[in-house]
Amino acid sequence: AIADIKKNIIPPHCGFHGQIQIVCCPSANGYHEGEKVVPQQGSSNFTINNRTAVKKCREYGEYVFINATVPIIVTSLVSGELDTVHRMSTCGSTKNSLFLGGNRPGPREFPHMALIGYGSKENPTWKCGGTIISERFILTAAHCLNSPSVGPPTFVRVGDLSDYETDRKDNLSTHFAIKAIISHPAFTRKELYNDIGLVELTVPILLSPDVRPACLHTQFDIPTTKAISTAFFVDYKEEDIFKNMYKDTVEFVSHAECNKTYEYYISKRLNMGIVEDSQLCMTSHTNEKDTCQGDTGGPLQIYNNDVFCMYNIIGVTSFGSSCAASQRPFVYTRISHYIDWIESVVWPNE
């Protein structure tokens, strides 16, 4: 039993002494196969990749686990009580949620989500979403970093989503002041290209199972035909906005079809059309009108098959059509095209 415990395997048990579990039971009392506490990583062929973003993904993946002390009684060959520390998962996501249509997220399902605020904390304006990608940096759209109507963002809020539809009374949300806003150097408001930016916080986020970064997708190829888009509904008042996050499973649209949809803009702000190297097109099949009211700047994500309970961010919500044309594709900035730039800003010394 002790050897199994050291390997993070729960040994067979046959009852309790008070609240303490009894293990090493005779077979006559009913033997149950031990089960592992920590799920295995998703792929046996773990890709060896020395990119900083990939290393950080593995590092941040550790924050899904907590150490839980479990008291047990060992009988048979060894007697007495033993406290053991188990590495327990707090994962809130599930790969079974990839269906067409929209839905509300569950607790800890998207712990990397952030909301970008403008003005004062006492009377905030919420315009854009974002993604936690490190202790100090939020990934968002460049057009969110200097709004013509409300100016530059002033703070970021994270952590509320873990309270969604739960009985927990602790307030896990936190406001962070902004130290710097960094648009991609090639971004200009005259065009709809290079719409990606970073927000640097004045102090680091205290990472936990409830608030932790997502991974960045570093490869051009995307091994799926569907992805998950998440957004807040920014039309709600502050006390409701965090309870109105939305997730939607979306499907890839060909660039030919996407270009046809936005041909009106090709002569204006898309003079090169939709650029496959740096942009993605997705469409939603949901019938809920609210999906067109969500913010931009939020993430487009897929499941990471190498690091347990982590998402790969493949895109940043850039622009889309109005509610009246909700079946038109949305356009996302493709993350893989900007990995070198992101790494140089977020982890310059790694």
Indicate which CATH number applies to the domain containing 283: 2.40.10.10
119 and 38 together in one domain: no
39 and 112 together in one domain: no
61 and 202 together in one domain: no
Q: Please state the rounded mean pLDDT for residues 245-271.
A: 87
- Whole-number pLDDT of residue 148: 85
79 and 28 together in one domain: yes
Highest mean pLDDT among 76-90, 107-121, 297-311: 297-311
Q: Which domain holds residue 61?
A: 2-89
**Predicted confidence (pLDDT) at residue 244 exceeds the cutoff of 80:** no
Question: What is the percent of the chain where pLDDT is above 90?
Answer: 49
79 and 110 together in one domain: no
Q: How far is CA 103 from CA 16, 268, 283, in A?
A: 41, 35, 16
18 and 111 together in one domain: no
- Whole-number pLDDT of residue 41: 43
**Predicted confidence (pLDDT) at residue 17 exceeds the cutoff of 60:** no
CB atoms within 10 A of CB 275: 15
Start-end of H helices in the chain: 2-6, 52-61, 238-241, 255-261, 263-266, 339-346
165 and 304 together in one domain: yes
Q: Which of 89, 115, 147 is the last residue of a domain?
A: 89
Q: C-alpha dihedral over 235, 236, 242, 246, to 10 degrees?
A: -50
**Predicted confidence (pLDDT) at residue 26 exceeds the cutoff of 60:** no
102 and 216 together in one domain: yes
- The number of distinct structural domains making up the chain is 2
22 and 124 together in one domain: no
Q: Where are the strands (E) in 142-188, listed by range?
A: 155-158, 174-183
At 223, is the pLDDT very low, low, confident or very high (cuts 50, 70, 90)? Answer: very high
Q: Which of 89, 119, 151 is the last residue of a domain?
A: 89
Q: What is the pTM of this model?
A: 0.79
181 and 53 together in one domain: no
Q: Which of 89, 121, 145 is the last residue of a domain?
A: 89
Output the furthest CA–CA distance in the chain (Å, rounded). 81
**Predicted confidence (pLDDT) at residue 8 exceeds the cutoff of 70:** no
pLDDT digits (tens, 9 = 90+) for 270-329: 999 999 999 999 998 765 544 455 579 999 999 999 999 999 999 999 998 655 445 678
Highest mean pLDDT among 34-43, 160-169, 198-207: 198-207
189 and 277 together in one domain: yes
206 and 152 together in one domain: yes
